[in-house]
Each structure stands twice: as C-alpha cells, then as structure tokens.
Amino acid sequence: MNRALHLTVVKVGGSLLGGEADLRRAASALAERRRDGGPLLVVASALQGVTDLLDLAAQQAGRREELGRTLAILRRRHLGLARGSAAGEVEEVLGELEELAGSAAGELPDATYARLLSFGERLSVLLLAAAIREAGADALAVASEEAGLRADGPPRNGSCDIPASAEGLERLRRRLDEQVLVLTGFYGVDADGGMVLFGRGGSDNTACAVAAGLGADQLELWKDVPGFMSADPREVRAARLVDEISFDEVAQMGAWGSKIVNHGCLDPLRGRATRIVISSVPEAGPTIGTRLVENLERDAPRVVALASRRNNGSPALLGAVGEGVAGDPAIRERMLDCLSESGIRCDLAARPSGRSGLSCLVHPDDLSAALGGLHDHFFAP
C-alpha cells in the first residue's frame, strides 16, 4: 500500500440505511470519497430496524406462522433494494437465514442467537457494496468471518480481539489499493468460528477496532445527526454543534444515556494518531462534524454539552459535561443558581461524576425547561 495515501475507515450507521434513497445517498458519498484518493474501508450496520426484526424472529422460533411473517418482511426489504449481481447473493444469504430460523424452536442458545442476528450486517454489506459500484467505484462486500475479524467473550456481548485479528487485517490492507471494501459491523468470530456480537451499536466497536488495527489515518462515524450537539435538539431547539469533544467527555455522555457513540468503543484508539470525526453523510466539500480527541487542553474548565435522560416517570437526570467541571465549585454554583432562579424542582445535589460531569435529578415535567435555562446560561453568545 502507498502510505502517502491516507487510509480512511468510514462507519455507516443503520439509521442512514432506511431505504433506497438513503442507500444511494450513502453510496454516492462513499464513491466520491474514494475518487478523492486513498484507500477506503467501510464498516456497515444492518439496515434500519433489521436487527430488531431479527431479534423478533429469534423470539418467534418454533411459531411458524408468526416467524414466517417476520421472515417475509426481511425478504421483501432486502430483495427490494438488491440490484444486479447482488440480487443472487442476497437471495442466497436470505436462504441461509430462513433455514436457520426455521430449524430452531424455543429459546435459542446464545451461539445460535448471535449467528441469527449477524445476518443483518451480512445482508446490508451486499446491498451497500452494489450501490457503491453503481455510483462508480469498485467495491466488494466482506463478512467478518471472511476477514478473520476475531472476537473474545460471550456470543451475545463480546469484543474485538485486535491482536488475534492482525493477520486478517493485513490481508484486508493489501486489497484496499484496488477497491473499496465493505465490512460487516456488529460481530466477529471466536477461535472456533462462532459468531460473537459486540452489543447494540456494536458497529461502532468494529469500526474503532479495525481503524486501530489498520493504523488508519482517519475514522469517520456517519450517523443521522451532524455530530455531538450542546444538548438534545429534541429538548433544546437552540442546541448547536460541538466542534471538539474529548474521549472522557464522550464516555460521560454515554454513561448518561447518549447513544451517539457506543460506550467504550473509542478505547482501542487511545494513544493513536487517528483523526476521528462524527458527522452526518457529507455533502460536497469537506466533512463538517465533531472531532473526537483523546485529550483536550482548555484554559479553564467549561461546560461543552448538556446531557439528559428521562426515567419512566421517575426523576429525570440532568448533567453538565466538560473536562474538569466535576471539581469546579464555580460551575456547580452557577448550575444550581440557574435552576433555582428558574423555579426548577431538583435534588440540588449536583453530584460529580468522574472528572467530566456534574449531575442532578429534576422533576420530569421540568426537564425541558431546565435544559433550556442551563443552555441559555452556559452557551449564550
């Protein structure tokens, strides 16, 4: 591989693969990225909603009529998007899925469950690779078992074993000069060839592990949001894009319920020079999003984002995230004063969380008002 050309890993989330228009949009952007030069490896999630359908199929094992309806939905969705040579490949994988699901009954063993859920990504990579070819760039779908992507842990919730995957990743590296490779996210294989899932959102884990194992120059996580926002835009209309955020701040957001980046997925990239960006599918021009940096040097602690989590009628969690805010009494006082002056009912604890967070509990009816007030206070122009 010509190392003068930067190697990029792009993860395409399932929320970006809802239907034909979404698929073509992502494929067009990926083909354009390949034309810009440099090797490109794509990690793909299952189509939007497909993992839930496969989980439902697992629950319906042995109930033929119900299972048949679910499998028919999966068949229509994937064959409806298949084009050219991909149609035959998709048909073949669907046949494997139907055979496995139809032969099971009752509660599935963990190994069988993991294999069943892996079909979402096995199908999506075929569709995305075909769409990239239609968009003008040579692309090949690669399943984790073909790539030698090894995993440790229980079948339902394991992790990628980067050292054990080194040989397979080197084979992938050698092929990247010639074509875009579209790799299945969400799972790897153990030493015996069994499927091991990386948990919901696990395609983030695949992308980060592969980027680390390949020594990628850049990792892009494409989502249905432009990046990390200063607050949940569903709660705060004035929320704005955060330019940079640290790994620890990302971890704190995840601990408080943010699902933008899968919790813990960045760990393999600590100590590496890989540039990491989270964004929506880029339009023409440079990618705009949030840069994820292991360590950020700021002149003083400051709030970079507000986190929130509703708890089914119980008090809602409200958190302020930023390196060093947990130990800054001035920020704690500002947070509590702002809530008090707004008449927000809260526990007034403002408990520290690690180095990067302060949290309190508020009445669920007051959460939107509390977020809006704090956002105005900490992020006023």
- State which residues of the chain have pLDDT below 70: 1-5, 284-286, 348-350, 352
pLDDT digits (tens, 9 = 90+) for 117-150: 999 999 999 999 999 999 999 999 999 999 999 9
Instruction: State residue 56's pLDDT score.
Output: 97
Looking at residue 215, its pLDDT comes to 96
Question: Is residue 266 within 8 Å of 207, Cβ to Cβ?
Answer: no
Per-residue pLDDT reduced to its tens digit, 283-309: 866 678 999 999 988 888 999 999 998
- CB crowding 129-147: b at 16 or more within 10 Å, else e: bbbbbbbebebebbbbbeb
Angle, CA of 305, 306 and 312, to the nearest 5°? 150
pLDDT value at position 348?
55
The HSE-up count of residue 136 (CA atoms within 13 Å, CB side) is 10
pLDDT at 67 (0 to 100): 96
CA distance between the termini of the chain: 47
In Å, what is the CA distance from 112 to each residue of 79, 105, 174, 333? 24, 11, 33, 53
pLDDT the model gives residue 284? 64
Token pair for 273: 């020079």
Which residues, listed in sequence order, are joined to residue 245 by a DSSP beta bridge? 292
pLDDT at 2: 41
Q: List alpha helices for 200-356, DSSP H.
A: 203-214, 247-255, 329-341
Q: What is the pTM of this model?
A: 0.93
Which secondary structure element, helix H or strand E, spans residue 24, and what is its range? helix 20-35
Give the type of residue at 299.
D
